[in-house]
Structure 1
Amino acid sequence: ERLSDYLQTQGGGDIYTITDRAGWHKDTYIMPSGETITATDKGPAIIYNGDTSQREGYTESGSLEEWRQEAARYAEGNSRLCLALGLSLAAPFLALLHEEGGGVHLAGSSSKGKTTAANLALSVWGSYEATKSNWDTTALGLQNAALARNDGFLALDEIGQTADPRRIPQMVYSVINGISKTQGAKDGGNRKQKTWRNLILSTGETNPESLIGDRAQWKAGNRARLPDIQAEAKHGIYDTLHGFTDGAKLSEHINRAAAKKYGTAGRALIRQILSDGKEAAAETIEATRARYLEALPPMEGQARRIARRFTLLAAVLEYATPITGLKTGGAGVMQCFHEWLEENGTGDREAEAICSQLDDFIAQYADSPRFLSWSERDAPYTMTGGKGKGHAGFKVQVGGNDEFYILPLVFREEIAQSFPIHTVCKVLSEKGRLKPSKNGYQHQIKVNKKPIRHYLIIEPLELD
């Protein structure tokens, strides 16, 4: 009874926040170890109760100047290292700018320096030897790792180690969308969903789409969340060797340095943000990013989303120049983006994939027996199609175009494939390749005196 009275009447009246999520909590930043960085001398009234399995890795070793001189300076003039550092340093700005999470996949053959780039990026916050993750995990394990690094950086090495590559698209959606599954509570209702935001550097010998082996599974949304950049530059991953005889020796030096000097840059960045004020820091980044975006050609869809991510990294590297010492970090990031842009174009990747599927179908079957001539529409024929590769429809020349009347089953299974049929029709109609009808997208024509619905595809005889 006395103990109960004591607990009720004694002690302070301070209110504490208990959280299992790292990252920003007002003017306090919580590291994955539970360490708090705040603008005030008085410690924050926050208790971290989340995953601390890698607590020992999120520590400091050496000084910021030692890290800068022995490791970070070799990113000058090396675009892939700038990209990796940009991802690491930009992660705390996601919440300040209300940005979604995302990442970049660095693809290239073994022993070219991809892992070195990840190690340097991890050394911003702690020991890369103790904080590195890989793709060989469960979806729940990946979510827990992301939650522990909320508003932070996550490196996932060797995507080829994934036990089942078919799980990759769902894992990418899960971790980058940043919200846990809805789960019921024991006492009724649902548990509160957990949320997080991360920037991710993924590495592997191939890109996810090639690893999965099914273009339809790796949708445009996946490409926007995790675009791939080729690791190969002039000397493996490097554009310049800074006096070393080859890329291997430069990698060895960076890895040794980053293993000994780490953890100071990330803490310096948080203190710089708090010193400037979170709103002021965010405004500075937005203004710098706007300048980078203005220099790019007009873009839409996924290309625009990816451009915004790369320009964010470039802007943060400019902001963090006092920390990293890099004078051309932003230019290095934009070099990577321009290489991506040259390969992928400025358009909507989803629309491009849909048009590509139509192109493949027309190229394969336009002159095949699957299409009867218009004059044969009243002749007996097989009304199947689809996976059996039977009858697909009719072909007729009108002016300077080939017109294809395609059966709905064939259109859905062989052209639309995994894309929603309405999305496919909308895209092809906007591109002038699908002719809408009065009541939608299907045209009703008489075949053997019976009304049969078809989609009408228009193809110029001579393409530009």
Structure 2
Amino acid sequence: MKEYKEILNNKKEKLFVTLLARTKISESCPVAYRLIKITDFQEMESTRVLVPAKALISVLELKKTLLTCGHNPNVTKEYWIQAHQEVIKETDKIITLCYKPGFYGDVYLRVNDIVIGKVKGDKPVLHPGAKNHLSVEDKQETLKLWKMNVAPYALYSSRIMLALCCGFSGFLLKLSGMEGGGFHLWGMSSIGKTSSAYMLASLAGSPKDIVVLWNNTDKGLEEIAVAHNDSYLVLDESKLLDKDVLAAAKIMQNRVYTLSGGKGKTRSAMYENKVAEWQVSIFSTGECSLQQLAASGNVERLEGENVRVIDVNADAGAEMGIFESLPDGINSSNELVHAIKDATHRYYGSAKPAFLKRLVADIQDDRESVKRKLEKGIEFFLNKHQVDRNSGIQVRIAKRFAIAYVAGSMAVKYGVLPFTKQDVMKGISTCYLDSLEVVLSEPEVMKSPLGRSFDAIIDFIKKDDLLNLIGNDRVTQTAIKKATVIIHKVKGRTVYAVDKDLVHNCLPKSQRKGILTLLTKQGVLLSDTNKEYSTIQIIYKRKQVGRRYCFVCSKFDKFMTE
């Protein structure tokens, strides 16, 4: 302590507080601040702090503020006087306080207050009140290692390619004039959806810091969206919205519109009583498609909702979940999922700044040229897929995939993705074509999730000679056990009780959980308490005669009319 004071007495000019800039008073920022740098005496590391002008009223007030900000307390009284003089002095350096990251003119303000691009006017800095929901965009290992150990997995899954390109497209929304929106990857658990989310998250930071759960509050999600402005938002586990299907459907519909629309519905003091606004690219995952969820809750989808956040089936059709093929040395999709988790949690955070550095440089060099190339790339995608320009919905769907394709192609050009443009086109085009038929069709709740795999079960139930146990007390247990489908009363409902082996044989193991869980949520399939789906013990004349899948007749009969 004594030695430290002597150093200051001998070198009075040696301050660990440096004034960097001041803010202007404006309508958007009515409180004045000063940006200072505090240097740690022993570590010689510095941090930047915004000090409100009211803290400059006296040496004592400044001392309290600086100590709160982590300044070393072991200094003399004279030191605090010098520090106060340093902070209140005149300066021509001016900063603009911003309530969200993103583009400001031709520069990009990141969540860590780093500005990408050459600043020609006042430097943008994040307002202290804007930092509550910012993601931690940390970097671990180099871009070169990320390109070697993470990015190549996209070559084995069109869904992962879509996820990566969706992320890069968030930086192009403002330039393109497109509204926010994106994709919802849906399918049963253990199919690899979260792997896509991890891959996308790794562009900016560690997946544990980047991925956001759907079950935040409405206000919380708005503020999270603001914190991801001019970037991308990864939302996982839509099933967590609400246990009640109808409530979950209404919540999801509202949130899709709000997040893609880019404008909050509530006011928050955080935004100085202004409605929150943002623009983000969205990548969401869940066990049900948004279309199925809405139909399950008997919620009519609003016009244009299905083209804001587009359903993409996670199953790529190769019986390997989201994957179409496997890398050499990996023997199963499950093994590949674990490899992706390990890689994305080890190498991350280098791709986003690398892409933005090149994009901002191009914009500052010739903004109009970048816009023309963006528009040309979108037109190329639409022309290649022969999109009907007279159909507004088809054009909007195609443009959502097209901007992902253009963003991915730019990432290839910038050296961020180690692929070719043809690789990018192949992945995006596959997802576009796979999703197109479902998005443009009417929401057939029961038919769409089942497909042909359920036809055999429907055929059995359509037979006229089903064994009916209701009001019939002359049937033997042997006859019941031999019958593939019986009609009976279970939990007060008339059901088709179907032999579990028939169901298991008709439904591929990779689809079984998703289909049966969905039917349970819809009330078509009965289940034991607190089970996602289950067989139910059949009781006949007070004796157990085996467990079966029990489909409610009144609801299941709708299948037969399709």
* TM-score of the alignment, normalized to the shorter chain, above 0.5: yes
Instruction: Map 1:85-164 onto structure 2 (within 5 A).
Output: 85-163=164-242, 164=247
The CA deviation at 1:215 is 5.0
Q: Distance in 2 between matches of 1:257 and 1:110?
A: 21
Going from structure 1 to structure 2, the CA distance change for 1:136 and 1:342 (only over 3 Å counts) comes to same
The SS at the match of 1:125 is: coil
Quote the residue 2:363 is aligned against. Answer: 277
Q: Does 1:245 align with 2:339?
A: no
Conserved? CA contact 1:105–1:229, under 8 Å: yes
Spell out, residue by residue over 1:320-353, the C-alpha distance to the aligned partner (whole angstroms, 9 max, x if none): 11211122112211110011223344xxx7xx67
Instruction: Map 1:278-427 onto structure 2 (within 5 A).
Output: 279=367, 280-297=369-386, 298-299=388-389, 300-321=391-412, 322-327=415-420, 328-345=423-440
Quote the residue 1:218 is aligned against. Answer: 301
What amino acid sits opposite 2:264 in the alignment? S
Quote the residue 2:341 is aligned against. Answer: 255
Conserved? CA contact 1:39–1:271, under 8 Å: no
Quote the residue 1:173 is aligned against. Answer: 257
Spell out, residue by residue over 1:28-78, the C-alpha distance to the aligned partner (whole angstroms, 9 max, x if none): 212234333223699934344354356673111100010011010110242
The SS at the match of 1:194 is: strand
What amino acid sits opposite 2:400 in the alignment? R
Q: Distance in 2 between matches of 1:3 and 1:336?
A: 62
Going from structure 1 to structure 2, the CA distance change for 1:304 and 1:215 (only over 3 Å counts) comes to farther
The CA deviation at 1:182 is 6.2
Conserved? CA contact 1:127–1:263, under 8 Å: yes
Q: How many residues align?
A: 345
Going from structure 1 to structure 2, the CA distance change for 1:249 and 1:54 (only over 3 Å counts) comes to farther
Conserved? CA contact 2:133–2:224, under 8 Å: no
- Give me the TM-score of the superposition, normalised by structure 2: 0.57
Quote the residue 1:229 is aligned against. Answer: 312
Overall identity of the aligned pairs, in %: 26
Residue range with higher mean Cα deviation, 209-218 or 290-299: 209-218
The SS at the match of 1:76 is: helix
What amino acid sits opposite 1:86 in the alignment? C
Going from structure 1 to structure 2, the CA distance change for 1:32 and 1:47 (only over 3 Å counts) comes to closer
Q: Distance in 1 between matches of 2:326 and 2:118?
A: 39
Going from structure 1 to structure 2, the CA distance change for 1:121 and 1:183 (only over 3 Å counts) comes to closer
Q: Distance in 2 between matches of 1:272 and 1:332?
A: 24
Going from structure 1 to structure 2, the CA distance change for 1:45 and 1:142 (only over 3 Å counts) comes to closer
Going from structure 1 to structure 2, the CA distance change for 1:282 and 1:223 (only over 3 Å counts) comes to same
After superposing on structure 2, the runs of 4+ consecutive aligned residues of structure 1 that deviate more than 4 Å are 1-9, 40-43, 53-56, 182-185
Q: Distance in 2 between matches of 1:257 and 1:2?
A: 52
What amino acid sits opposite 1:318 in the alignment? S
The SS at the match of 2:323 is: coil
The SS at the match of 1:202 is: strand
Spell out, residue by residue over 1:87-118, the C-alpha distance to the aligned partner (whole angstroms, 9 max, x if none): 11110111111110001100111111100000
Conserved? CA contact 1:34–1:48, under 8 Å: no
Conserved? CA contact 1:75–1:326, under 8 Å: no
Conserved? CA contact 1:60–1:264, under 8 Å: yes
Going from structure 1 to structure 2, the CA distance change for 1:160 and 1:281 (only over 3 Å counts) comes to same
- Stretches of structure 1 that go unaligned for 5 or more consecutive residues are 355-464
What amino acid sits opposite 2:167 in the alignment? S
What amino acid sits opposite 1:180 in the alignment? G
Quote the residue 1:37 is aligned against. Answer: 116
What amino acid sits opposite 1:329 in the alignment? V
Going from structure 1 to structure 2, the CA distance change for 1:121 and 1:171 (only over 3 Å counts) comes to same
Residue range with higher mean Cα deviation, 264-273 or 335-344: 335-344
Q: Distance in 1 between matches of 2:87 and 2:416?
A: 48
The CA deviation at 1:183 is 4.6
Quote the residue 1:70 is aligned against. Answer: 149
Q: Distance in 1 between matches of 2:309 and 2:239?
A: 15
Residue range with higher mean Cα deviation, 159-168 or 146-155: 159-168
- Stretches of structure 2 that go unaligned for 5 or more consecutive residues are 1-55, 60-83, 445-562
Q: Distance in 2 between matches of 1:172 and 1:271?
A: 30
What amino acid sits opposite 1:199 in the alignment? S
The SS at the match of 1:277 is: helix
Q: Which has the larger radius of gyration?
A: 2
Q: Does 1:193 align with 2:193?
A: no
What amino acid sits opposite 1:287 in the alignment? K
The SS at the match of 1:228 is: strand
Conserved? CA contact 2:237–2:285, under 8 Å: yes
Going from structure 1 to structure 2, the CA distance change for 1:30 and 1:273 (only over 3 Å counts) comes to same
Spell out, residue by residue over 1:347-405, the C-alpha distance to the aligned partner (whole angstroms, 9 max, x if none): xx7xx679xxxxxxxxxxxxxxxxxxxxxxxxxxxxxxxxxxxxxxxxxxxxxxxxxxx
Residue range with higher mean Cα deviation, 138-147 or 292-301: 292-301
Quote the residue 2:39 is aligned against. Answer: none
What amino acid sits opposite 1:67 in the alignment? W
Q: Distance in 1 between matches of 2:165 and 2:359?
A: 16
Q: Distance in 1 between matches of 2:274 and 2:238?
A: 31
Going from structure 1 to structure 2, the CA distance change for 1:39 and 1:184 (only over 3 Å counts) comes to closer
Spell out, residue by residue over 1:226-253, the C-alpha distance to the aligned partner (whole angstroms, 9 max, x if none): 1111000111100111122111111111
Q: Distance in 1 between matches of 2:352 and 2:238?
A: 26
Higher relative contact order (CA 8 A, sep 6+): 1
